[in-house]
Chains A and B, each alone.
Chain A
């Protein structure tokens, strides 16, 4: 068993902390992390509850391989009901906090209720206490991290916390851990702040020694590391260029969402790409990229650490931003870059720094700014609302300003904190919101990558690439190449990716391993660590069970098949350039087949037979 079998329950209303044994029957059916914590949430909250009310719960959860010597085994997730989408949310993060929670002896921490005043949870192995956080409230995530470290005089404490954006009610605020890693999507930080919970600080020294068969586990994890090292993507591509290597690829194939998804190719892509991050800047002769970085136990190390030119307009006279910090990953670079028409890499990096400093999702933020820029262009938003700022596509100063006001929830930053859907509704143009179920799109235009249209429309947490990354097959040829411009075969592909990803997200491992690993590589590692017979087939079944459980939560929360759709722009306005010229997304051709192979009714509801087969 690589589970610690311990669950900490923190009732913030009463200020009590109790521990209870992990429900091992559920662990056998849902494994851990995303699957298992979602099971707890589904059993414990009313799906119709107010996401920001006292009835919602927030679960920080590790997987059975978190904290072990498996490569990338440092992941943790935050599961709750999302205020952005009203759907179930599960946001996954790397860094070091997951390992620390596990080493302190906990599989998960369940927060319920609302604290009467700001608090933070301090955990040192078995000892846990709620401490006052009045002095931390109003501070950024970076300052909070520093203040807690100073207070406890322990540099080895790992901290996950919210910044000022979450306190101000930004609906896509995330939870920042280890300064520049984030459980970023779906507003999980907004929920945390609504509970008056500023931070979770953890010190764990117990070790994770409870694997089922240590010799087999060492062998399986060594073998897994070998596969990662020898694979050209995980061994060379990701460490050197990070996810940002995709910028030029996706632009070339004509699936780069540009200027609020009006266009599918960005003329400035090469200037903000992974390659560009390596090139010396003409201004100071130094490259944007300082080094790569790894999360706990990761042998891939895809992370970006960047430095902005000290003479750049964004940080002149602001020495606090002169050092190296978390740089733009592809998703941030796209949303802050091409979607806003901005080709200034340092401005993008600055906005990304602020997303980390004050804990808000750069994807949702960038996409919301892009929508605001389009609203500005058509005159629905004017300088009256922006306090004089020319919120135009391509204006790096507008991007930097937007990040500053959203970080603190000041002025127009309040509107930007609503997210694209509510912003576009407020200003009378709901069709300009590029969202599904209220969540903003990631970096792949579904006119140029058809399977991603179905991925977005059916994702249980709203538009998301990490729920089924068919880009791997449709564009990159992993595990095998399919044609991105056709809809044939995509329902099957999407289902397979959704189920496998749900299983991987429940292990404690990083989904980026799947560029080299399949479930054939992962299952032996899980099986050697955990009780139960963990074959690839069983993991796929667990993934399918998780997917259907999340779906049922969403249906009970009030979402319907009508929500499995895309913005009109992507269904009606054809791509104007690139290989997808003349194409819209063929969602209508894919969705009925998808429901059918899922074992759902034509209305998208799991049938009694499907429920029975999966033990739901």
Chain B
């Protein structure tokens, strides 16, 4: 569990594929619960965990894609899930 001093919200944070290397210790199945300040934006979390921004290709908040311009907005709510992938594809 990642404890931050100014706990405001608890969210589920997921990093997949090659981004898994950036997950903090204690993560399981690419997932960790983290406590974050109320004002956190997706890009702040991306930076905090040192995920290169150009590798944060698919950024999903509760499964919904966040456009680049939404990633600096204060749109995360308590209990949300933020999941991030590098560019990936399949078929």
- The reply to whether A579 and B90 contact each other, CB–CB distance below 8 Å, is no
Which of B3-11, B38-46, B70-78, B79-87 lies at the binding interface?
A: B79-87
A481 touches B65 (CB 8 A): yes
Quick check: A237 and B30 within 8 Å, CB to CB?
no
B16 touches A275 (CB 8 A): yes
B-facing residues in A231-249 (Cβ within 8 Å): 231-233, 236-238, 240-246, 248-249
Is B91 a contact partner of A237 (Cβ separation < 8 A)?
Answer: no
B contact residues, total (Cβ < 8 Å) = 26
Choice from A245, A472, A477 contacting B17 with Cβ under 8 Å: A245
Q: Which residues of B contact A248 (CB under 8 A)?
A: 14, 16, 30, 83
Is A321's beta carbon under 8 Å from chain B?
A: no
Pairwise interchain contact A477-B62, C-beta atoms closer than 8 A:
no
A209–B65 CA distance with the chains assembled, in angstroms:
47
CB-defined contacts of A231 to chain B, threshold 8 Å: 87
The answer, yes or no, to whether A295 is at the interface (CB within 8 Å) is no
> A116 to nearest B CB, angstroms?
40
* Neighbour of B62 across the interface among A243, A244, A465, A579, CB < 8 A: A579
Q: Write out the residue numbers on chain A whose beta carbons fall within 8 Å of the beta carbon of B58.
A: 249, 475-477
Tell me the complex Cα distance, A240–B88, Å: 10
A249–B16 touching, CB < 8 Å:
yes
**A274, B29: Cα distance in complex, Å:** 12
Type the 1/0 row for A504-540, where 1 means its CB is closer than 8 Å to any CB of B: 0000000110010000000000000000000000000
Contact flag A233-B88 (CB < 8 Å), given A240-B18, A274-B17, A578-B63: yes
Given contacts A249-B88, A252-B83, contact A579 B64 (CB under 8 A): yes
B88 A331 Cβ-Cβ under 8 A: no
Contacting B91 at CB < 8 Å: which of A254, A512, A579?
A: A512
Whether A241 lies near B88 (C-beta < 8 A) is yes
- Once A248-B30, A275-B16 are accepted as A-B contacts, the answer to whether A243 and B90 lie under 8 Å apart by CB is yes
The chain B residue with its CB closest to the CB of A577 is B63
B89-A478 in contact (CB<8A): yes
Q: A237-B17, A252-B83, A477-B58 are in contact. Are A472 and B89 (CB under 8 A)?
A: yes
Chain B residues, CB < 8 A from A252: 14, 60, 63, 81, 83
A579 and B67 alpha carbons, distance in the complex (Å):
16
Decide yes or no whether A466 CB sits under 8 A from chain B. yes
Whole-angstrom CA separation of A246 from B60 in the bound complex: 14
Q: Is the CB of A237 within 8 A of B63?
A: no
Q: Does A365 contact B (CB under 8 A)?
A: no
Contact B86 A237 (CB under 8 A): yes
Which chain A residues border B57 with CB–CB below 8 Å? 232, 477
Is the C-beta of A469 less than 8 angstroms from some C-beta in chain B?
yes
Chain B 13-53 per-residue mask, 1 if CB under 8 angstroms from chain A, else 0: 01011101000000001110000000000000000000000
How far, in angstroms, from A330 to B67 measured CA to CA in the complex? 26
Q: A248-B16, A249-B58, A270-B30 are in contact. Are A254 and B63 (CB under 8 A)?
A: yes
* Residues of chain B lying within 8 A (CB to CB) of residue A481: 65, 67
- A253 contacts chain B at the CB level, 8 A cutoff: yes
| Residues from chain A with Cβ under 8 Å of B16 in the complex | 245, 248-249, 275
Cβ-closest chain A residue relative to B60: A252
**CB contact list, A205-242 vs B, under 8 A:** 231-233, 236-238, 240-242
Residue pair B89, A476 in contact (C-beta under 8 Å):
yes
Q: How far is the CA of A469 from the CA of B89 in the complex (A)?
A: 11
What is the total number of residues of chain A having a CB less than 8 Å from a CB of chain B? 40
Contact among A233, A253, A469 for B87, CB-based, below 8 A: A233
Return the contact of A243 from the options B67, B81, B91 (Cβ within 8 A).
B91
| Complex interface: chain A residues within 8 A of B63 (CB) | 252-254, 578-579
| Chain B nearest Cβ from A326, distance in angstroms | 16
Complex contact A232–B90 (CB within 8 A) = no
Q: In the assembly, what is the distance between CA of A244 and CA of B16, in Å?
A: 12
Interface contact A476-B88, CB-CB below 8 Å = yes
Distance, CA A96 to CA B43, complexed state (A)? 45
Q: How far is the CB of B65 from chain A (nearest CB, A)?
A: 6
Q: Residues of B contacting A240 with CB < 8 Å?
A: 17-18
Q: How far is the CA of A578 from the CA of B63 in the complex (A)?
A: 7
Say how far A577's CB is from chain B's closest CB, in angstroms: 9
Residues of A close to B86: CB separation below 8 A: 232, 236-237
In the complex the two chains form, what is the Cα distance from A242 to B91 in whole Å?
A: 9
Q: Please, which residues of chain B bring their CB within 8 A of the CB of A578?
A: 63
The chain B residue sitting closest to A515, CB to CB, is B89
Give the chain A neighbours of B90 by CB distance below 8 A: 238, 242-246, 274, 329-330
A232 touches B87 (CB 8 A): yes
Indicate the member of A231, A233, A466, A478 with the most B CB atoms within 10 Å.
A233
**Contact B89 A465, beta carbon cutoff 8 Å:** no
Taking CB as reference atom, which chain A residue is nearest B65?
Answer: A481
A237 to B17, CA, bound (A): 8
CB distance from A128 to the nearest CB of B (A): 34
Task: Given A246-B88, A252-B60, A578-B63, check contact A236 B18 (CB 8 Å).
Answer: yes
Could you tell me the distance between the alpha carbons of A501 and B56 in the complex, rounded to whole angstroms? 28
Q: Compute how far the CA of A451 lies from the CA of B27 in the bound complex, rounded to whole angstroms.
A: 35
A275 contacts B30, C-beta separation under 8 Å = yes
- Give the residues in chain B near A254, CB-CB below 8 Å: 63
**Contact across chains for A238 and B89 when beta carbons are under 8 A apart:** yes
Inter-subunit contact B85/A249 (CB<8 Å): yes
Q: B91 near A241 (CB under 8 angstroms)?
A: no
> Which residue of chain B has the shortest Cβ distance to A235 in the bound complex?
B87
Within the complex, the shortest CB–CB distance from A576 to chain B, in Å, comes to: 14
A71-B85 Cα distance, complex, nearest whole Å: 26
Distance (whole angstroms) from the CB of B9 to the closest CB of chain A: 19
Instruction: Compute how far the CA of A400 lies from the CA of B90 in the bound complex, rounded to whole angstroms.
Output: 25
Which residue on B lies nearest to A511, using beta carbons? B91
Interchain nearest-CB distance for B27 vs A (Å) = 12
Distance in angstroms from B31 CB to nearest chain A CB is 8
What is the chain B residue whose CB lies nearest that of A254? B63
Given contacts A248-B14, A252-B14, list 6 more A-B pairs with CB under 8 A. Answer: A231-B87, A237-B17, A240-B17, A242-B90, A246-B88, A246-B89
In the A-B complex, list the 3 residue pairs whose CB atoms are closest, starting with the nearest.
Answer: A243-B90, A246-B90, A232-B87
20 A/B residue pairs, CB under 8 Å, sorted by A: A233-B87, A236-B86, A237-B86, A238-B89, A245-B16, A245-B89, A248-B14, A248-B83, A249-B16, A252-B14, A252-B81, A270-B29, A275-B30, A330-B90, A472-B89, A476-B87, A476-B88, A477-B58, A512-B89, A512-B91
